[in-house]
Amino acid sequence: MEFAYVQPMTDLTEDIRREIGQHFVFGFHGHDVNDDIRILICDYFLGNVILMKRNVQSIVQVRALVRKLQLLAKEAGHKRPLMIGIDQENGLVSAFSLSFTDDAGTQFPGAMALAASGSPELAERVSHASGRELRLAGIHWAYSPVADINSDPRNPVIGVRSYGDDPNEVALYVQAVSRGLISAKIAPSAKHFPGHGNTHIDSHLNLPRIMTCQKDLAATELVPFQALVDSGIPSIMTGHMALPLITDDDTPCSLSRQITTGLLREEMGFKGVIVTDCLEMEAVASKYGAEGGAVMSLQAGADIVMICHQYSRHMGALEAAYTAVREGKLSIDALRVSGVRINALKDEFAGAWDDVFSSGLEPDELSRLKQENILLAQHAYARSVAVIRDPVGTLPLSTNGHAVLFTPRMESINLAVDDAEGKLRDSQRRLRNTAGPSYQAFAASISQRVLVPVKHIVYAPDEEISDSIKESLRAATSVIFATRNGLDHGEWQIGVVRRVVETVDSSKLALVSTCAPYDLLAMQGVNAPCLATFEFTVPALRAAVAVIFGETTAVGTVPVK
């Protein structure tokens, strides 16, 4: 990749270092300000911070943390407040929500669950409500909506984070979510441009190579992004996938000037802020390093480079940018033009210093908002549960007896998505054989409705149906079997399903897909009812229990084939 030569500079003034700092968004560890983030803000003039689930205890705590971060920036002479971002897609990627407390952000349905409701209006209401909570905590920027079209059922990292496999339907929902966030004064950042749905490779682990030509890309993956560009979305996140049929090489799109500037800016007409996905993901880090990737992203035309985790990589990326400017490989004039876009984003969504420090958090206001949002979330989850099939009208199951629940061992397929709370692996990163907090809550919800506490079986690969389990199945009045991504890498679950089906009367059995619904969509020859919740969050599973036992009726539809 070639770049125009820029006159080398012998030294970096403080003004130039301040400019460079505005082009990064970094994360840090802990529930309070630590030395790493203090140094980055005060000495390196970092202009943007991403909060992760590891930073969140409650809305009140996050607000106090953000105020401390902003105070550091103001005292360090930043002209504008920090832009505070967070990965709050809702559903399974909800950095602001915690499974063990209601004091943090409300757990709302994610993309595919909302699409299953059939209501873009509901999606807009949900994103607005979620955005109001973020705003109360001092957050201005949500890395949402996911505009990827999940056209590959094997996709290990997008899946239910997508609104479906129809480009036009996805476009409707991402526009609705974007409107909801903006109306709450939160800047949405659609991702992962130009589309991460048509692959079975996780860019956290490796580089996806998507063999799509530009004509096909424009007719599918780009449809939601173009709709968002046309409606004026303020920010878009570039993803780490290669499009060799378009770029003639395997450069990740986030590092490609042909994609970032040529396609997104020039062809599609995007005028807002471009932020990269985290450069510590192996799709970039394994070949270029986060440090080299940072310079390449800025050369490609990104406005802001994201590095979420390691302080050493934060420092390395900043030093790499300093060196690139000194050596004439990165134009400070181009960074200043880019900085105008960043300033406009901050002015619209973060405001001025007086806005950041203007008022405290009223407990009554927060309490009212939380009560409203919990009711809205319950309504949205109830509308999202879908019956894939119920061939003989088995539902509802009986509560007059005892129940058996099968849930899969929680395998951490993707640490960023599946194990954000760090519960699925031990300190040596070994997989735990655990039900996880969501499935434990699932069992508790069933126990509340049946005469005898539920027998909860956590099944694993090659699970045999023992004589004692067979006896429990024969005695049960209801048997609920949950799968989680039981297609491709999780196909062992279907083998266990079939062994249970051979043992139990289908009139007392219900199958529940608790993540991507492709496993039960593909399963044939089973007369039991099949439901989909599209995520294994606690409220999603509770909504499924209400359907299984006839308290509510499933009205959702599956938004993928």
- Do residues 237 and 275 make contact, with C-beta atoms less than 8 angstroms apart? yes
Residue 267 per-residue DSSP state = I
Residue of 381, 348, 301, 312 lying closest to 543 (CA atoms) = 381
Q: What is the reported pLDDT for 7?
A: 52
Tokens encoding 350: 């973060």
Q: What is the reported pLDDT for 417?
A: 54
Q: Measure the CA–CA gap between 224 and 240, rounded to whole angstroms.
A: 18
Q: What is the reported pLDDT for 415?
A: 53
Q: What is the reported pLDDT for 434?
A: 54
Tell me, yes or no, if the two domains 18-365 and 385-549 fold the same way.
no
Residue 477 per-residue DSSP state = S
Helix (H, G, I), strand (E, B) or coil at 424: coil
Averaged pLDDT of the chain: 92
Q: What is the pTM of this model?
A: 0.94
Q: What is the mean pLDDT of residues 193-206?
A: 82
- 201, pLDDT greater than 50: yes
Q: What is the pLDDT of residues 421-452, one digit of tens each?
A: 455 555 555 555 556 789 999 999 999 999 99
Residue of 515, 52, 483 lying closest to 278 (CA atoms) = 52
Q: Would you place residue 378 in the very low, low, confident or very high pLDDT band (cuts 50, 70, 90)? A: very high
At position 9, the amino acid (one-letter code) is M
Q: Measure the CA–CA gap between 486 and 494, rounded to whole angstroms.
A: 6
- CATH homologous superfamily of domain 18-365? Glycoside hydrolase, family 3, N-terminal domain (3.20.20.300)
Chain Cα centroid distance, residue 399: 36
Q: Measure the CA–CA gap between 459 and 440, rounded to whole angstroms.
A: 13
Q: Measure the CA–CA gap between 114 and 110, rounded to whole angstroms.
A: 6
Question: Residue 187 forms beta bridges with which residues?
Answer: 141
Residue with the bigger pLDDT between 98 and 9: it is 98
- Do residues 460 and 495 make contact, with C-beta atoms less than 8 angstroms apart? no
Q: What is the mean pLDDT of residues 271-296?
A: 94
Q: What is the pLDDT of residues 298-349, one digit of tens each?
A: 999 999 999 999 999 999 999 999 999 999 999 999 999 999 999 999 999 9
At position 111, the amino acid (one-letter code) is A
Tokens encoding 509: 């059995």
Across 127-131, 140-144, 272-276, 285-289, least confident range? 285-289
Question: Residue 304 forms beta bridges with which residues?
Answer: 275
Q: What is the reported pLDDT for 22?
A: 99
DSSP characters over 506-521 = GGGEEEEE-S-THHHH
Across 28-37, 429-438, 452-461, least confident range? 429-438
Q: What is the reported pLDDT for 514?
A: 96
Q: Please report, in angstroms and rounded to a whole number, the separation of the first and last CA atoms in the chain.
A: 40
Q: What is the pLDDT of residues 409-420, one digit of tens each?
A: 876 555 555 544
Residue of 191, 176, 317 lying closest to 264 (CA atoms) = 191
Let me know if 547 is exposed, middle or buried by CB neighbors in 10 A (0-12, 13-18, 19+): buried
Find the helix or strand (DSSP H, E) in which 82 lies: none
- Do residues 83 and 21 make contact, with C-beta atoms less than 8 angstroms apart? no
Q: Measure the CA–CA gap between 93 and 95, rounded to whole angstroms.
A: 6
- Do residues 213 and 246 make contact, with C-beta atoms less than 8 angstroms apart? yes
273 φ, ψ (degrees, to nearest 5):
-90, 130
Percent of the chain topping pLDDT 90? 82
81 φ, ψ (degrees, to nearest 5):
-65, 160
Chain Cα centroid distance, residue 345: 22
Tokens encoding 485: 């991504």
Torsion angle, CA of 471/475/479/481, rounded to 10 degrees?
-10
Q: Would you place residue 371 in the very low, low, confident or very high pLDDT band (cuts 50, 70, 90)? A: very high
- 399, pLDDT greater than 70: yes
Every domain of the chain and the residues it spans: 18-365, 385-549
Q: What is the reported pLDDT for 208?
A: 85
Q: Spelled out in words, what is the top-level CATH class assigned to the domain 385-549?
A: alpha beta
At position 36, the amino acid (one-letter code) is D
